[in-house]
Amino acid sequence: MFRNQYDTDVTTWSPAGRLFQVEYAMEAVKQGSVAIGLRSKTHIVLACVNKANSELSSHQRKIFKVDDHIGVAIAGLTADGRVLSRYMRSECINYGYTYESPLPVGRLVVQLADKAQVCTQRSWKRPYGVGLLVAGLDESGAHLYYNCPSGNYFEYQAFAIGSRSQAAKTYLERKFEKFTESSRDDLVKDALFAIRETLQGEKLTSHVCTVAVVGVGEAFNILDQETVQTLINEFEISGEEAPINESNVEQSGGDGDGAAPDQRGAAAEEGAAPMDI
Amino acid sequence: MPKEHANWSPYDNNGGTCVAIAGSDYCVIAADTRMSTGYSILTREYSKICKLADKSFMASSGFQADVKALQKVLSSRHLIYQHQHNKQMSCPAMAQLLSNTLYYKRFFPYYAFNVLGGLDSEGKGCVFTYDAVGSYERVGYSAQGSGATLITPFLDNQLKSPSPLLLPAKDAVTPLSETEAVDLVKTCFASATERDIYTGDSVEIIILNANGVRRETEQLRRD
């Protein structure tokens, strides 16, 4: 993506029919540290990598509880993510107050998407620079959604966003067919493995990542550091073993380029607007 | 021309009595379960007690529709607090919130007479008593509702410290043990039931202490 004369305003179309400001917002998501989500029939696991700016500072919180049955992991501008989490919490509380029942996840993501769309059609606003992985349980089952700054949203069996997320996506693509019937613990294990893939050889410890679970009979909760470290040790995924696939290293290397790495799936047409993912 | 008056009232009184007693390491919150309107009984099994937080229980008599709305507002506000602070509200904090919520509707009040009971941050029992518009005070014991005028003098006789000038209100936790306090509450309700037509059927008692929450029910006269 290069600088051009159509990218100053979100309300200016390019001749090719693209809104560059929105695409730049999606770039912000790709620059954030990784967040992944995966789901089975009864549980959803969210995990993210917590990189602190320096040894002196604390980690940024990237996973938020929205309600007992909904949680969200973010990648990109965490400040925008915090504001959107507050909005989601408020919507859940208001719905619960009026209807005395939990807000269906599908409804929440639509509201979120509509909110994001507004920012793509006002000259005095800018798109939110954060991607959200919304994990929730409602009467129709377990759901995992991805909300884009563009105002689009998609449902996924498993997904990863942020920098070096391609490595995690490759791992998930190999394993996702088994997720529906997975047990909760296997799902957490797969989440940790996927996180490990994105660390590119760096040691996986509970200091670097956060894991959260929501499922049938289990309210949304963030696992504490000790539990996560125990799981990492149990599954022996501290990263001291050889990576599962040598080819992962190549693909992870590709993510460092400026070219949109996340469109590898729809790779063929370079001109295709990335918002179509 | 004399002023016209409305031929309906937004309020109704559903009767009932609430009591709370604070101990050194426990708190007892109790309310009868009769809901009435006029001289009729609507139901014999209605709970007037609501858990607002892990260590805060509110018992309210008065107009139950307003009580329900008040409980919902406070529960929602507590959820917001938990999201923002990652912990439960303390009982004194909830007490202030209840007061502010009531005063917010100073010019169209919640017709609710509340007693808030729980454990403070030190684990000591605390009881807060309110009027309909949020005036409140921390006390060692309190009664509200239709039977309050019958129960309060009895509690004063049993619990009131000899000189209120020596002991400040927040130290006026009763020296009674937990079992003694629960028995006292049962006695209060049994007596109030005799003379107050709006109190009876059964009493729901919540006992809050360091080990958690316990619930007891005791049958009362149903006439």
* Beta-strand pair B141-145/A43-49: unpaired
B80 min Cα distance to partner chain A (Å): 8
Q: Which pair of tokens denotes residue B48?
A: 């007037």
Of A194, A186, A191, A129, the closest CA to residue A166 belongs to A194
For the segment A42-73, what is each residue's pLDDT rounded down to a tens digit?
999 999 998 877 778 887 889 999 999 999 99
B93 min Cα distance to partner chain A (Å): 20
Q: What is the pLDDT of residue A203?
A: 87
Give the pLDDT mean for A180-198: 93
In chain B, which residue's Cα lies nearest the Cα of A96? B76
Q: For tokens 């979120």, what's the residue?
A: A112
Which residues are registered as beta bridge partners of B61?
Answer: B113
Q: What is the pLDDT of residue A259?
A: 40
Q: What is the pLDDT of residue A236?
A: 73
Contact B72 A97 (CB under 8 A): yes
Query: Would you list which residues of chain B are within 8 Å, Cβ to Cβ, of chain A?
Result: 72-73, 76, 79-80, 83
Q: Which residues, given as ranges, of chain B have pLDDT below 50?
A: 170
Give the pLDDT mean for A228-242: 73
Predicted-complex ipTM score? 0.86
Q: What is the pLDDT of residue B171?
A: 60
Between A3 and A153, whose confidence is greater?
Answer: A153
B50 φ, ψ (degrees, to nearest 5): -130, 135
Of A212, A193, A199, A174, the closest CA to residue A64 belongs to A212
Global pTM value:
0.85
Contact B83 A96 (CB under 8 A): no
Q: What is the pLDDT of residue A235?
A: 79
Which residues are registered as beta bridge partners of A109?
Answer: none
CB-CB neighbors (< 8 A) of B86 in chain A: none
Is pLDDT of A245 > 50? Answer: no
Is pLDDT of A257 > 50? Answer: no
Q: What is the pLDDT of residue B108?
A: 98
Q: What is the pLDDT of residue A56?
A: 82
Between A242 and A33, whose confidence is greater?
Answer: A33
For the segment A121-172, what is each residue's pLDDT rounded down to a tens digit?
999 999 999 999 999 999 999 999 999 999 999 999 999 999 999 999 999 9
Q: A238: pLDDT confidence band, cut at 50, 70 and 90?
A: low
Give the pLDDT mean for A238-262: 43
Is pLDDT of A264 > 50? Answer: no
Which residues are registered as beta bridge partners of A73?
Answer: A63, A133
Give the pLDDT mean for A174-183: 93
- The strands making up A209-215's β-sheet, listed across from edge to edge, are A158-161, A35-39, A43-49, A209-215, A218-222
Is pLDDT of A243 > 90? Answer: no
* Beta-strand pair B112-119/B56-62: antiparallel
